[in-house]
Structure 1
Amino acid sequence: MNISIPKETIEFLSKLEKNNNRDWFNNHKKEFKSIETEVKKIYNTVFENLKEHDDVDKVKLFRIYRDVRFSKNKLPYKTHFGGSFNRVKPNLRGGYYLHIAPNNESFIATGFWEPNKDDLLRMRKEFEMDDQEMREIINNKAFKNVWGELVGDEVKSAPKGFNRDHKAIDLIKKKQYIFTKKYTDTEVLKPNFIENVNASFKVIRPYFNYMSDVLTTDLNGVSLI
């Protein structure tokens, strides 16, 4: 399906940045609803494309309204669209994310944003035991040309129970295991943007295959599911 992001999407989000208040938003609610309808089509298309080469069970488009109850930032609206695509658990792990924002701040992301305590420990133990396969995947030239470097929050030195001088401490100390790819506004509005997103998501597959294998087995390689 040939579908592209309307330029009105970026234009509306840019205006919302400058007018992030309820009066302005309510006065432009009809415009927002029209744009939201088109954006949902975009995310559903990404979802259908993903299903052609991976097992994903749902797409979640996040609401434009911000939860300001526990935030110092009291602006009522997000100035971007964001949506996630979940792989089918328990066999498959990892997830995809698409972020559409003005000012050249759009991006896609893949990986593990908030691994639970058990999964995080399992990943760290794997890297402590053997980091070679992980490095071969993330340092592959074709992979790196699309996704660049592994990113994510990390502890300052070493997690409890791990040696800070371990040769894989750069992997062990991470709390997130994420890859991102940025896009300019011009790139987002090109007719082949969704095709590019899908092609990039395909490239992440060796990483997901490896991590899924790690997270569904114990350190002896015995299946946990």
Structure 2
Amino acid sequence: MATSMSLGAQLAVNVLDAQSLLAAFGVLGVGVVMFAETGLLIGFFLPGDTLLFTAGLLCSGSGQQGVKLSLLPLLICAAVGALAGAQCGYLIGRKAGGTLLARSRSARLKEGARRAEELLERYGHAKAIVLARFVPVVRTVLNPMAGALSVPVRTFTVWQVAGGLVWSLGITLGGYALGSSVPNVDKYLLPIIALIVAISLIPFALELLRSRRAAKDGVRG
């Protein structure tokens, strides 16, 4: 009976709420969400940045409902999920091409695909793969797009690993550091997460600005 109740509570978890996910599944849930968000198109709506930051914060002991996670297992699960997911998405793209995206009815997903393709064309493979990690939805669709567009396996793997480690470990450790230094920081979690998401978009925004300035200089020249 107790097992059935526990299973029912897990099935009722809110997949869009980071603390709900962490309370139900712990660090293993982080790995699964990272894999789904970066490797499966159906995972584009999952709270990747929010989950990583909140999980890191909970490792510091600052959190609601007594949820406490261990930092090292969390970092391992986050990194493995993010890297394996991206590689899986790339392989799906190589096999299925643009079929999966073409069948999707999600306007948000299609917009993400457009931006992902634009990134690859404008910045080149290496830079685009790294930058995409920090842009929600784009980090989901760029991996299959890279496979569909025949980005070399070695190039994709090297740069998705580099970007994936910086993204997954950086945001997680940022949450841990803040939770360790600011008492009761979880009370301000929503505005902090909004700030983290905004900061995560800075590399993309700076690159876009630099590209536009270069284009203007080229026209003037």
TM-score (norm 1): 0.30
Select the structure that is richer in helix. Answer: 2
Q: Which has the higher strand share?
A: 1
Task: Report the TM-score, using the length of structure 2 for normalisation.
Answer: 0.31
**Looking at CA atoms only, which structure, 1 or 2, has the larger radius of gyration?**
1
